[in-house]
Every structure is written in structure tokens, then in C-alpha cells.
Amino acid sequence: MPAPTPEALAHSQRLSALLRDEIAAAGGAISFERFMELALYAPGLGYYSAGARKFGAEGDFVTAPELSPLFSRCLAVQCAEVLAALAGGDILELGAGSGVLAADMLKELARLQQLPGRYLILEVSADLRERQRRTLAEQAPAMLAKVEWLERLPPAFSGVIVGNELLDALPISRFRRAPRGFDEFNVGVEGGRFVWCLRPAPEELRAALTTLETSLPQPLVEDYRSELCVRLPALLYSLADLLTRGALLLVDYGYTRQAYYHPDRYMGTLLCHYRQRAHDNPFLYPGLQDITAHVDFTAVAEAATAAGLELAGYATQAHFLLALGIAEQAGDWRGAREVKLLTLPEEMGERFKAMAFSKRLDLALRGFSLHDLSHSL
């Protein structure tokens, strides 16, 4: 791994000290979920809350909107279709990263003559909010007046809610199937270093894991390790609750539940990104690397439909973008290269999925017209 600069290392040490204090105050260990929450979002220190580069070629990882404006243009085509069906409405983007998705979508929506009333952004990171404002001012200055940053979810919303790689950034619980019941991975400290330690899963997690296991075709084998996002239902419930009319569109890497908890995936999906290297050590340079887990799309569909949304489609990113005309949008050779990166199975095409939900919207979404995999959930 490339060594961080002395400045970055000092930053990481400050966050590590905060984590060690919290572990000591909790009596020697905290859940991994809490560790991940602080590592990513501790005010002023967490990976997303503080000022590291993160996205793009010079950062730690590249997301689809960073890779090519073609991705954002296709999302704009899908949003335009919904906004037209609603005869107006807003867009709400959750976790807007560098702001490039917002800038490219707004430019395309202007070209399609289907601009939203407002483009709202909910971003938990103050540092990223600033970066988004700069990106929009540089790349889409004429659109800046449409954009509003929110401190919290609005009480009611009509239009399209968009989240690209939002769900993979939610803190997750790590568990292990014990001979009887489940253990939760906690984080302790030994000799100043973070170490894993196992504790019996607390009640809420144990109940969620028991429900999960009974929904699988076979029980999990002893010592099977994976993750579960306990926060997911509450987030989807809030989104379903505030959406009065329109659609929710989520794009992320993940699987159906059966594939996620397949016996072969016995070490789970926890993944860290540091300077374009993917690895599985979440204790490396806290605050300087991203920590993620894949998304259980069956859990997303269950939680959203239980909260009153209608499943509108589930497709691979490749099929979703092709249905929205990415091939026609591509144009020159550079475009063709970007289409390959976004759609080929060995690149982002199959690992990433798009999932949409609707409420009081009478529309078959174009993004799922090529190959809808909803039946596989």
C-alpha cells in the first residue's frame, strides 16, 4: 500500500485516538457497525466528513458518474421520463459525492427540456457539500440556482429520488454463524492496534439474522461470516414515507439475497478502497480509506415494499444503461470505451444493479424495458 503523507497520517492518528477513546469508554469493544460509522462519518475526521480526495483517478475509487458523463445522461433520461409523467416535480439526490452526477444530469435534463423544479441534495458530509458546490459552479453554472442543499430529509417530496453508491456506504454489522446463534464482530484494541473480537449478537441483530436465515434455501454453516445492514429498513421507510408521488432510483453493487448469502461467499463482502487498491482490512489508516459492503437487493425490495412503495424494476447496470440509450449516446471512440467500462460484465456491467420503486406513478420505467430481473429477487 502506498504510504500516506505525514499530514494524512496525522489526520488518521487523530481519528484512531477518537476510536480508541470510544472503545475504552464502552468497556473494551464497540460493534464494527459503530467503528465503520465513526471511520466514515465522525464529524471533521471521518473518511467522508473530512477533506481527502476520495473520488476519481487521483482518489481511492472511481464511481460510474466519475468515469463517464454517459452514466449521468442515461439517469437523466430516466428522470425526464418520470418528471414528464408527473407533469413536473423535483429531483432529490442522496449522497452526491463530488457533485458530478448532479452537474451532468442537470445539463442533460436542460437539453431534454425536462428540468426539475429544484435539484435537492442531501449530503451528510460538510466537506463534500462544499466540493459539490464547486463542481456545479464550474461545470454547470447556469444550473446552480436550481440546486439546494438540505440538512435533513424533507417532510414531503414529489419527483425522483436518486442514490448512486449510497447504500454501500451505510455502516453494516459483521456476524459469524456460531454453533448456536450468532456472534457479532466487535472491534477492540491490543497494543494500541485495532483487533477483531467476537461477542454474542445483541437482540436486534440476532432477531434480524434469524429472520434472514429462515428465508435462505439452506441454513448458514458454522463459522459462516457476512454482513447485514440493520439501518436499511429505517432509511427506506423514511424515503417511502416522504415520497408523495414519483420514483426512487438506486444504483449500487450487490446481489439478490440468495447470491449474497451463498455458501461460497463465506467470508462476506466487506471491501476497503485505498488509493485505487481494493482490500479487506478496515483497520488500515482509519479516515483515509473507504469501507463498504455489497448490497442485499432482496432486503432493499422487501423493506421498500413493506413501507408502501411498488417495485418498478431491477436490472444489471448494463441492461439499465442500454435500455436508456447509452450506445446511441456514445458517439466517438472515447464514448465507446466508456460504454464498455460501464456495461461489460467483467467491468461494472453486472456487479452493479439498478433498482427502482414508484408511488402513485402509472409508468413502466424505460430503464427496465430490456431485461427486468425482479422475478429473481
Ligand X SMILES: C[S@@+](CC[C@H](N)C(=O)[O-])C[C@H]1O[C@@H](n2cnc3c(N)ncnc32)[C@H](O)[C@@H]1O
Which positions touch ligand X (CB under 6 A)? 48, 55, 63, 65-66, 94-97, 101, 122-125, 128, 164-166, 169
CB closer to ligand X out of 66 and 338: 66
Q: Which residue has the cell 458523463?
A: 69
Query: How far is the C-alpha of 195 from the C-alpha of 175, rounded, in Å?
Result: 15
Which residue lies nearer to ligand X by CB, 126 or 370? 126
By beta-carbon proximity to ligand X, the closer residue of 101 and 147 is 101
Which residue shows C-alpha cell 499530514? 7
**Number of CB atoms found within 10 A of residue 37's CB:** 18
Shortest separation between residue 331's beta carbon and ligand X, angstroms: 23
| Shortest distance in whole angstroms from residue 168 CB to ligand X | 6
Residue whose CB is less far from ligand X, 224 or 352: 352
In the complex with ligand X, the residue whose CB is nearer, 163 or 188, is 163
* In the complex, least distance from residue 261 CB atom to ligand X, rounded to whole angstroms: 23
Angle (deg, nearest 10), helices 297-306 and 232-242: 40
Nearer to ligand X, 236 or 377 (CB): 236
- Cβ 175 to ligand X shortest distance, Å: 21
Q: Whose grid coordinates read 440556482?
A: 145
- Closer of 216 and 230 to ligand X (Cβ): 230
Write the CB contacts of 241 (distance below 8 Å, at least 6 apart in sequence).
307, 308
Nearer to ligand X, 177 or 294 (CB): 294
User: What's the min distance (Å) between Cβ of 182 and ligand X?
Assistant: 25
Instruction: Give the shortest CB-89-to-ligand X separation in angstroms.
Output: 20
Beta bridge partner(s), residue 192: none
Partnered with residue 147 across adjacent β-strands are 119
Alpha carbon distance 365, 356 (integer Å): 8
In terms of Cα–Cα distance, which of 63, 73, 143, 57 is closest to 95? 63
Distance of alpha carbon 353 from alpha carbon 298, whole angstroms: 12
Question: By beta-carbon distance, which residue lies closest to ligand X?
Answer: 95
Separation in Å, CA 39 to CA 35, 46, 54, 205, 226? 6, 5, 14, 21, 19
Tell me how far, at minimum, the Cβ of 249 lies from ligand X, in Å: 12
Q: Whole-angstrom Cα distance, residue 289 to residue 272?
A: 7
DSSP code per residue over 128-148: HHHHHHHHHHHH-GGGGGGEE
Distance of CA 214 to the CA centre of its chain: 26
Residue 48 or 175 with smaller CB distance to ligand X: 48
- Minimum distance, C-beta of residue 32 to ligand X, in the bound complex (Å): 17
Residue 355: what are its φ and ψ, rounded to 5°? -135, 135
Closest approach, Cβ 200 to ligand X, in A, equals 28
Q: Which residues contact 17 (CB under 8 A, 6 or more apart)?
A: none
